[in-house]
Amino acid sequence: MRLITYTSGPGTAARIGVRVGHRVLDIEAASRVDGEPLPATMKTLLREGRGALSRVQALAKKAQSNAGRFASALVEERAIRFLPPVPDADAFVCMGKDYRAGLVGHNGKVASPEQAARLACAPQLVFVIGRRGQGVNGDEAMDYALGVTILNDLTDRDPPKDAPGFAPLGPEIVTMDELGDPFDVWLTCAVNGEEHMRVNTGEQVSKLPAMLEQYSRARPIEPGDLFSAGVAGGSATPGSGAQDPFLKPGDVVECTIEGIMTLRTTIVAPGAATA
C-alpha cells in the first residue's frame, strides 16, 4: 500500500490518499462513499491504528475493481501537488538533525541558500512509525515500522549546514509488506539523469532497532514519527572533476529507492519561489 499527502490546487487543504494505479484515491472522501469517514490527515490516520489502515487497503481494492462508484474520490496523479507524506511529524530523527521545519514534497523546488553555496545531496531511507511505544525492545522494533519513504539530504558543504527547505521527502509511504528486506535496499542519487551515488542500506551508520531502543528510553515514539539512520558514502555531487562540482540552479535531483519510488527535486536560484 502506498500512502500520499497532497493538495489538489492552490489554497486547498492538505488531503491524504492511497495510490490506485496512476490515480490517487482520497481516503476521507472514499470512506464517506463506503461507510463511516476516516481521518483526513496522515498522522491522525496512523493514530487510528491497524483497523483504519486495513480499511484503507480495502477501499483501494474496491476502487480498483469499481472505479465508477468512487469516481468522486479519485484524482489523477498529474493533477495533484505532492506534500511530504507526514508534514507534521512529532519527531524526525536523522543522525542528530531535525528536519521537521524544512520539509518539502516530491517535485518540489529548493532555493540554494546563497550564490556561492556548495550544495550536495544524498539519499536516505526513512522509516515511518505506525504505533506508539516506549521502552521499545530492539528485537521487536521493526513491529513499530509502518513503512518507508525517502529523504533527499541536501547540505551546504561550506560550511556544512542545513537550512529551511533543505529536506525534500516523499513521494509516498510504502508499507513494509511491499518493501522486502529494509536492510538490503539500493538507494541512488542522480543529477540531471546521471547517477552520482549508489549505496545499500546494509551500510547504514546505525539500524532502526538500535535507534528506537535508545530513543524510546527517554520519550515515547508516536505514529508518524520519522527515523533515518543515514548511510555510509557521504554526499553526491555532479562530479569532483568539474570546475564547479556542486549543485546549481536548474539541476534536477532524483533520489530513488530502487524498484520502489523516486523523489524528484529542482534546485532554483537564491530567493526564487519554491512553491
250 and 116 co-located in one domain = yes
Q: Are residues 103 and 229 in the same domain?
A: yes
Contact 82, 104 (CB under 8 A): no
Identify which has the larger pLDDT, 241 or 266.
266
Q: Would you say residue 275 lies in a domain?
A: no
From the list 146, 173, 170, 136, the residue with the least C-alpha distance to 48 is 146
Local structure of 178: helix, strand or coil: helix
User: What type of residue is 194?
Assistant: E
Beta bridge partners of 24: 19, 75
**Single-letter code of the amino acid located at 151:** L
User: Grid coordinates representing 191?
Assistant: 543529477
| CATH number of the CATH domain containing 45 | 2.30.30.230
Q: pLDDT tens across 73-115, in order?
A: 999 999 999 999 999 999 999 865 666 668 999 999 998 877 6
- Reduced to 3 states (helix: H, G, I; strand: E, B; else coil), residue 35 is coil
Residue 273 in domain: no
Number of domains present in the structure of the chain = 2
Does 15 fall in a domain? Answer: yes
- 147 and 223 belong to one structural domain: yes
At 247-263, the pLDDT tens digits run 999 999 999 999 999 99
32 and 156 housed in the same domain: no
Does residue 12 sit in the same domain as residue 136?
no
Identify the domain boundary among 18, 49, 81. 81
Which residues form the domain of 162?
86-268
104 and 186 within one domain = yes
Q: What is the pLDDT of residue 253?
A: 97
pLDDT tens readout for residues 30-80: 999 998 899 999 999 999 999 999 999 999 999 999 999 999 999 999 999
Confidence of residue 163 (pLDDT cuts 50, 70, 90): very low
Residues 138 and 179 in one domain: yes
Task: Residue 213: give its domain's CATH number.
Answer: 3.90.850.10
Compute the distance between CA of residue 216 and CA of residue 233 in angstroms, rounded to an integer. Answer: 28
The pTM of this model reads 0.92
